[in-house]
Amino acid sequence: MTENFTFNLKATSGKARLGEITMPRGTIRTPAFMPVGTVGTVKAMYLDQVQDGGADIILGNTYHLMLRPGPERVARLGGLHELIRWPGPILTDSGGFQVMSLSGLRKLDEQGVTFKSHVDGSLHHMSPERSIEIQGLLDSDIQMQLDECVALPNEPREIERAMELSLRWAERCRVAFGNQPGKAMFGIVQGGDQPALRIRSAEGLKQLDLKGYSIGGLAVGEPQAVMLDMLRITLPVLPTEKPRYLMGVGTPDDMLKSVAEGIDMFDCVMPTRSGRHGLAFTRRGKVNIRNARHAEDMRPLDEQSSCPATRDYSRAYLHHLVRSNEALGGMLLSWNNLSYYQELMQGIRQAIAEDRFEDFKAATIEMWARGDI
Ligand SMILES: C=CCOC(=O)Nc1nc2cc3[nH]c(NC)nc3cc2c(=O)[nH]1
């Protein structure tokens, strides 16, 4: 068992990287997909299934957990891992992004953000220091700086203002985080779709002795080409020996192309959220199980899968459950989708290990191009 946070780069295939993050609570194989466990649960899943399905780490959302059950209460209950019974590493966001997108934002200034809870309307203030304090109370293993993510497209002046503010907040978070050997704090590169601002943000964060770097401000409505361009600008500036985490991404296509640029970690609600709405991800593309054509299709989603939800249940039954809005429908499709995402990550890691990632990427995207099957 290691008492530190270390990242070991094991192989490369083009710019794609195979690595391992070792932490006291376990090892994270990269490239990694991190299921989103918003309010201390990966929705519609048992965490045993999430772990058995291949996830080494899950996400917890600071914004939700600070509102309910509250960070001090979680600490009194032994911390998030105890409460939700997840033994592995947990990455928590700083809350910044969700405050902007979910709450009645009241004010954002140098000190931090002031907002009204979407739960009960209570007023909250979150400074960079309070965000790190909350993540500490949650006993989070990988903590995020507080940042300001602006939507795209946007005025360059506005993107610059938010990027500079985020840099100042990164410094304050770094001071507040202090020295916690078995834990990590990641900075978040901002700068929107502006190359010069992306470079300045990455250069600024490199002064802070961080253990990893998130790429923020993307997957906020910009075309995929813009997102990939920003990765090509940003990643060469970042230290190769530290992990890179692309926030909120994405579809299998997004992840394959981002791994090809040098991304190591991903999180996205897509597999779980779309599973609850009847969309199944499979090796051969997406299946909208609500579609009438599945009503009497006795085939499972994929007879070759090792996931029971994928291998043992007919499309007809899944169709019936989803059409009837039965809980089991969302449960089985979430299970299927997370299993597919982890199977894809395993395939990516294997392809990098054998230096054939480019072929694997092309073949997987081509298989997907055939669309709904
Ligand atoms: C776990 C996340 C750590 O969150 C933070 O502390 N801040 C933060 N979160 C983001 C989340 C995003 N999701 C998407 N698309 C679905 N784009 C995102 C961009 C950001 C961002 O720029 N900052």
| Atom of ligand 1 lying closest to residue 267 CA | 1
Cα(29)–Cα(347) distance, integer angstroms:
12
Ligand 1: which of 93, 135, 185, 210 to mutate, judged by most atoms within 8 Å of the beta carbon? 93
Answer yes or no: is the C-beta of 5 below 6 A from any ligand 1 atom: no
CA of 149 to the centre of ligand 1 (A): 7
- Pick the closest to residue 103 from 89, 91, 90, 119 (CA basis): 119
Answer yes or no: is the C-beta of 97 below 6 A from any ligand 1 atom: yes
Answer yes or no: is the C-beta of 96 below 6 A from any ligand 1 atom: yes
pLDDT at position 372: 56
Cα(220)–Cα(193) distance, integer angstroms:
11
pLDDT at position 105: 76
Helix axes 156-177, 128-137, angle to 10 degrees: 50
CB count within 10 Å of CB 196 equals 11
- Active-site residue flag, 267: yes
Specify the pairing of strand 244-246 against strand 212-215: parallel
* Contacts within 8 Å (CB) and 24+ apart, 175-180: 176/128, 176/129, 176/132, 176/133, 177/132, 177/143
pLDDT at position 371: 63
Give nearest CA residue, ligand 1 atom 5: 93
CA of 199 to the centre of ligand 1 (A): 19
How many distinct helices (H) and strands (E) make up the chain? 15, 16
Residue 42 burial (C-beta neighbours within 10 Å; 0-12, 13-18, 19+)? buried
Contact 247, 227 (CB under 8 A): no
Residue 349 parent element (H or E): helix 327-353
Residue 286 burial (C-beta neighbours within 10 Å; 0-12, 13-18, 19+)? middle
Annotated active-site residue in 56, 93, 147, 264: 93
Annotated active-site residue in 56, 139, 141, 267: 267
pLDDT at position 1: 62
Q: What's the whole-model pTM score?
A: 0.97
pLDDT at position 96: 82
Answer yes or no: is the C-beta of 159 below 6 A from any ligand 1 atom: no
Give nearest CA residue, ligand 1 atom 2: 93
Ligand 1: which of 58, 97, 140, 246 to mutate, judged by most atoms within 8 Å of the beta carbon? 97
pLDDT at position 330: 98
Tens place of pLDDT per residue across the chain (373 aa):
678 999 999 999 999 999 999 999 999 999 999 999 999 999 999 999 999 999 999 999 999 999 999 999 999 999 999 999 999 999 999 888 888 887 777 899 999 999 999 899 999 999 999 999 999 999 999 999 999 999 999 999 999 999 999 999 999 999 999 999 999 999 999 999 999 999 999 999 999 999 999 999 999 999 999 999 999 999 999 999 999 999 999 999 999 999 999 999 999 999 999 999 999 999 999 999 999 999 999 999 999 999 999 999 999 999 999 999 999 999 999 999 999 999 999 999 999 999 999 999 999 999 888 765 7
